[in-house]
């Protein structure tokens, strides 16, 4: 379920309240395919992760959408990527973790490609 580099990168955040920031959209993306497949074990793992004290869930409200619109246009990002990145910028994240090399051209928050 979780790629090894991501799990290793997040290990230092365990138990630190609010140390992992993500948008509400991430929950949808992570759970949809597992829900469709009926993979209840994976769904439970995601639910535990997203309920963790480490996770700060950013709501996709008007401010995030306006930022996402800007990033979508400036960097030619896909809409979900723009929303994820805008969420990180909105809360002042120190680093944005991704497996998508296309986000490496963004400069408002340090992007770390896993």
The CATH H-level (homologous superfamily) assignment of domain 4-113 is: 5'-nuclease (3.40.50.1010)
Contact 106, 48 (CB under 8 A): no
Domain residue ranges of the chain, discontinuous segments joined by +: 4-113
Listed residue (81, 87, 79, 85) closest to 63, CA to CA: 87
Quote the pLDDT of residue 103.
94
Quote the pLDDT of residue 4.
59
Interhelix angle 24-37/40-51, nearest 10 degrees:
160
Quote the pLDDT of residue 19.
80
Quote the pLDDT of residue 3.
52
Distance CA 11, CA 69 (A): 32
pLDDT digits 0-9 by tens, 31-73: 999 999 999 999 998 899 889 888 899 999 999 999 999 999 9
Distance CA 70, CA 73 (A): 5
């Amino acid at each position: 379920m979780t790629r090894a580099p991501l799990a290793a990168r997040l290990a230092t955040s365990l138990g630190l309240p609010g140390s992992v920031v993500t948008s509400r959209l991430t929950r949808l993306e992570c759970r949809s395919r597992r829900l469709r497949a009926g993979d209840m074990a994976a769904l439970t793992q995601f639910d535990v992760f997203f309920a963790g004290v480490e996770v700060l869930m950013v709501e996709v409200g008007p401010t995030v959408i306006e930022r996402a619109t800007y990033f979508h246009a400036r960097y030619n990002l896909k809409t979900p990527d723009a929303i994820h990145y805008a969420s990180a910028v909105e809360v002042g994240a120190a680093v944005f973790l991704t497996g998508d090399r296309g986000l490496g051209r963004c400069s408002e928050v340090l992007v770390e490609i896993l």
